[in-house]
Amino acid sequence: MAREQKEVRDLQEGGYVLMDGAACKITHYSTAKPGKHGSAKARVEGRGVFDDKKRSFSQPVDAKIWVPIIERKQGQVINVESDTVAQVMDLDSYETITMQTPSDANLSPEDDIEFLELDGQRKIV
């Protein structure tokens, strides 16, 4: 898995983080002041990029955490098989990929799209 390590204090809303082994987009980030016997703590809430599940964690701001490196790619729709499946050509490698489509997407052949990719998982944005 393409990832890098960062300190919790460097995370921001809208960024990505690994929670429970899944890539998540950070939806809320807050910190609590240091107490008498401890360091400042951060509470991070996020939503899974590929599974859409809510997750959260709380850790000291100086703790190290893994951040996934998610690639943003361009593609072109070749064929729409059904309301939920489409064939997309990656415009960099010209590879044809079968992907799940979002329920609110109204795709047709030759549409240019943007998708996220991480370790063989893909999602149309």
Segment 75-88 mean pLDDT: 89
Residue 13 has pLDDT above 90, yes or no: yes
pLDDT tens digits, one per residue of 40-78: 999 999 999 999 899 999 999 999 999 999 999 999 999
Asked whether residue 56 falls in the same domain as residue 104, the answer is no
Structure confidence at residue 41 (pLDDT):
93
- The count of domains in the chain is 2
Task: Name the one residue in this structure whose structure tokens are 């300190």.
Answer: 7
Choose between 56 and 101: higher pLDDT.
56
Residue 101 has pLDDT above 90, yes or no: no
Task: Return the half-sphere exposure (C-beta side, CA atoms, 13 A cut-off) of residue 118.
Answer: 20
CATH number at residue 111: 2.40.50.140
Residue 1 has pLDDT above 80, yes or no: no
Query: Do residues 11 and 65 lie in contact, with contact meaning Cβ atoms separated by under 8 Å?
Result: yes
Residue 104 has pLDDT above 90, yes or no: no
Asked whether residue 102 falls in the same domain as residue 64, the answer is no
Taking the C-alpha atoms of residue 118 and residue 22, their distance in angstroms, rounded to an integer, is 10
Closest of 35, 111, 34 to residue 75, by C-alpha:
111
* Mean pLDDT, the chain, whole residue set: 91
Q: Which residues contact 93 (CB under 8 A, 6 or more apart)?
A: none
